[in-house]
Structure 1
Amino acid sequence: MRILHTADWHIGKRLHKHYLYQDFDLFIGWLCDLVHQEQIDAILVSGDVFDLANPSAEARKQYFQALIALKNLDCHLVITGGNHDSPSMLDAPKDLLLALEMNVIGGLPEMIQDCIIPLPNKENSEIIIAALPYLRDSDVRLASEGNTYEDRLAAIRKGIQAKFDEAAAYCEQTYPHIPAIAMGHLYAAGVSTSESERDIQIGNQAAFKAEQFNTYFSYIALGHIHQPQRVNAQVPTFYSGSPLMLSFSERQDEKRVLLIDTQNGFEPESIAIPPFRKLLKISGSLEELQQKLEVLQHEGQLDSLIEVEMKEEQYSTQKLAQLDELVSNFSKDHLEIIKYRTQFKEQQQQSSAVFGAQQNLEDLKPKEVFESLLENEAFLPEERQELLHTFDELKEMLTTSD
């Protein structure tokens, strides 16, 4: 069989309030052409189908349109949920999609055999897919396990390994002598990340060690990490990476899908996805920014999105105002500044200089410190409010975390 491995579609993603719907439509169009040209038999999507657990109507529409387009090419689809996805939302149309030969595993089923998918079917199985979705703590760790933080991390690692071992044992017992591929959505120790990944399993500290993957599997198709890369394991183990650039830190990544031709083994072929849009980062002094923006040219099918970073020696409210004006007045066809920030090399101040000579840092509340930092940055009012809201959410997570 010829199988494509992809992951982290993040349908409905906003990059600093700029929706990437057009980007995803172009990716699916390209993917459909690739499926037809390469005669792909199956596509594996290893988690994070959506960017939000409760996706918008537009995001859901794009999802179903993508499924229809791929189904029309007579291609099997196996989709698993990621940490961004709602298991119940993905699983809701499960029976309908199954009738269309589309397998969706939103959350971990009670019985491991419900994750095991023979392709093309049970009567004529050429490959077995162990479609494990993102494993939440409740899936892999008993409430009674571990009294300390380190104990809980160890219990999570042990629980993840147990689920992969259980899936491997079922494949070997029920479908002996048929190669098996495992799907997973997790953080493997030692891999490179970008700014757009959301931490999983207690801030990624419960990183799963690659040598724990069961060697019965011929290939392990991973999701969650957006930078495409190989994991150092005993069997071919890969993150396909996200098909779209989801943050400015990914602007130089070569996005790709991975093609496995089981007749030739399980070392995948990397197929580059064309960049539909450029993400550009412009940095320098105020004068340098003016010059660079003036000569900037558009490339690609979609509007280029720009991050601007002003770097100056001395803190200056005048230059902050000039930067605001520069960004507000910037107008070039198919070029849009969606993020800007400042960095002053000599801005570090003692807490007494920021809050007054009579106050010490340890006397202040965390939010007061955070608000004071925001005052020295060139954020729009709505951006500042969003950052404060995010700070409150993070603080709440820290105080309520188990």
Structure 2
Amino acid sequence: MRILHTADWHIGKKLHKKELYQDFDLFIDWMCQFLPENDIDILLVSGDVFDFSNPSSESRTQYYRTLIKLKKFDLKIIITGGNHDSPSVLEAPKAILNELDIHVIGQRPENLQDCLIPIYKDENVDLVIAALPYLRNRDLQERFDAENHDSKQKAVQQSIAYHFQEAASLAKKKYPDVPLLGMGHLFAKGVSLSDSEREIQIGNLAGLDASHFGSNYSYIALGHIHKPQRLNSLTPIFYSGSPTPLSFSERKNEKRILLIDTSKSFEPESISIPKFRDLILVKGSLEKIKQKLSEITNIHPLQTLIEIEMEEENFSPSKTIELEEYIETFENEACEIVKHRVSFKYKPEGLRGITSTEEQISDFTPLEVFHKKLESVDETETSKEELISAFEEILDELNRPEQ
């Protein structure tokens, strides 16, 4: 079996109000060349198909158009829900997609055995995939009842671990001696993060150790972290990362997909995805920014997106105005400035703590706004962690209005 591990498509994503649908389309076009050249049997998508739980009609159209393109290559597709996905949106066309050999598990089924997908070869089960979606609070609370933050944190870890270990136990009972591959969408300890990941479960404090997955898996295909990386474990446990950059903090990351050839081993081959656009952060004084912008060239099919951080020694409203006028008249068809901010090292006493260009509330996720609010609250660290946990549960409820 030749298996391709991807995750975190985030269809509908915007970067500072700039639509990224072209980036995703180019990734899929490249995949449509890669699939037949490499005889792929199975495509895994480990969560966060969409960027919003209620995706726009354009995002849904792009998703279905993508599935049609990929199914031309006669492969099995397995999709699990992520924390950004609405289970009901993903599973609405489930019956139709099953007929096309596209398996979608948007939420944990009541019977955990329904997460097990046997893969046949010559009428025999050659591989079993435990396709576990993002586990929400309502899924986890069935396994624990914690009264305080410390015990809840440990209980959440144990509950997530239970789901993976129980799925493995069910697979080994029903399909003994058959390799088992797991899918998950979660935060694991020790991984490297970027700005575009939205924290899950008690501010990421409930991250799993590799040991929590148990020893029955031959490979675990994870999603949620956008930078490709491996967990420190004897079992190959990998984040494939997002196929396209989703924030300026990912501008230097090399995007990848992972190819597992089970006839050789479960150690994946890392395949580099072509870059479709540059993301550039330009920092410095006004004059340095002008110089750097004049030197930017574009060798990729899509516009270069630019974020500007003007840093000046002394407070000067005129320089702020001059920067804004320069941006307004900036003309380069190959580039687009999508965000700018200004900071001064020395400011008059009455202006300390105030930036010349205010940060917009739209620049932050709801959780980031809540964290900033907590910075000014006189509470203990334990109390703040409890408040963060409660806020995340509220977000989880709001992200599934269909229920």
Please give the TM-score of this superposition, normalised by the length of structure 1: 0.89
Segment drifting more, 386-395 vs 282-291: 386-395
Mapped contact 1:215–1:234 kept (Cα < 8 A): no
What does residue 323 of structure 2 align with?
323
Mapped contact 2:315–2:348 kept (Cα < 8 A): no
- Distance change in 2, residues 1:33/1:121 (3 Å): same
- Match runs of 1:27-106 below 5 Å: 27-106=27-106
- Asked whether 1:175 is paired with 2:154, we answer no
What does residue 360 of structure 1 align with?
none
- Match runs of 1:3-402 below 5 Å: 3-120=3-120, 123-142=123-142, 145-347=145-347, 353-354=350-351, 376-379=355-358, 384=360, 386=362, 394=370, 401=391
Mapped contact 2:202–2:388 kept (Cα < 8 A): no
Mapped contact 1:82–1:185 kept (Cα < 8 A): yes
Please give the secondary structure, in 1, of the residue aligned with 2:198: coil
Mapped contact 1:256–1:270 kept (Cα < 8 A): yes
- Distance change in 2, residues 1:70/1:391 (3 Å): closer
Whole-angstrom CA distance in 2 between matches of 1:389 and 1:253:
22
Provide, for residues 9-51 of structure 1, a one-character-per-residue CA deviation record: whole Å limited to 9, x for no partner: 0000000000111111111111111111000000010000000
Segment drifting more, 256-265 vs 117-126: 117-126
Counterpart amino acid of residue 49 in structure 1:
V
Mapped contact 2:143–2:159 kept (Cα < 8 A): no
Provide, for residues 38-79 of structure 1, a one-character-per-residue CA deviation record: whole Å limited to 9, x for no partner: 000000100000000000111101110111111111010000
Mapped contact 2:219–2:235 kept (Cα < 8 A): yes
Whole-angstrom CA distance in 1 between matches of 2:80 and 2:348:
46
Please give the secondary structure, in 1, of the residue aligned with 2:346: coil
| Aligned-residue offset at 1:138 | 1.5
Counterpart amino acid of residue 215 in structure 2:
T
| Aligned-residue offset at 1:211 | 1.6
| Aligned-residue offset at 1:346 | 2.9
Whole-angstrom CA distance in 2 between matches of 1:37 and 1:386:
42
- Distance change in 2, residues 1:12/1:387 (3 Å): closer
Counterpart amino acid of residue 384 in structure 1:
Q
How many residue pairs get matched? Answer: 378
Counterpart amino acid of residue 346 in structure 2:
E
Counterpart amino acid of residue 94 in structure 1:
K
| Aligned-residue offset at 1:388 | 9.1
Segment drifting more, 328-337 vs 265-274: 328-337
Whole-angstrom CA distance in 1 between matches of 2:389 and 2:227:
31
- Distance change in 2, residues 1:126/1:275 (3 Å): same
Task: Name stretches of at least 5 consecutive residues in structure 2 with no aligned partner.
Answer: 375-386, 394-403
Please give the secondary structure, in 2, of the residue aligned with 1:157: helix
Mapped contact 1:83–1:134 kept (Cα < 8 A): yes
Segment drifting more, 113-122 vs 7-16: 113-122
Whole-angstrom CA distance in 2 between matches of 1:63 and 1:156:
32
Whole-angstrom CA distance in 1 between matches of 2:356 and 2:130:
48
Mapped contact 2:144–2:156 kept (Cα < 8 A): no
Please give the secondary structure, in 2, of the residue aligned with 1:165: helix
Whole-angstrom CA distance in 2 between matches of 1:61 and 1:34:
23
Provide, for residues 279-329 of structure 1, a one-character-per-residue CA deviation record: whole Å limited to 9, x for no partner: 111111101011111121122011110111111112221111111112111
Please give the TM-score of this superposition, normalised by the length of structure 2: 0.89
- Distance change in 2, residues 1:179/1:151 (3 Å): same
What does residue 370 of structure 1 align with?
none
Among all aligned residue pairs of Structure 1 and Structure 2, give the percentage whose two residues are the same amino acid: 50
| Aligned-residue offset at 1:347 | 4.5
Whole-angstrom CA distance in 2 between matches of 1:216 and 1:143:
21
Mapped contact 1:219–1:236 kept (Cα < 8 A): yes
| Aligned-residue offset at 1:398 | 5.1
Counterpart amino acid of residue 76 in structure 2:
H
Instruction: Give the alignment's Cα RMSD to 1 decimal.
Output: 2.2
Structure with the bigger RCO (C-alpha within 8 Å, sep 6+) is 2
Whole-angstrom CA distance in 2 between matches of 1:47 and 1:389:
19
Whole-angstrom CA distance in 1 between matches of 2:152 and 2:25:
41
Mapped contact 1:324–1:378 kept (Cα < 8 A): no
What does residue 364 of structure 1 align with?
none
Please give the secondary structure, in 1, of the residue aligned with 2:301: coil
Whole-angstrom CA distance in 2 between matches of 1:305 and 1:200:
28
| Aligned-residue offset at 1:274 | 0.0
- Distance change in 2, residues 1:330/1:195 (3 Å): same
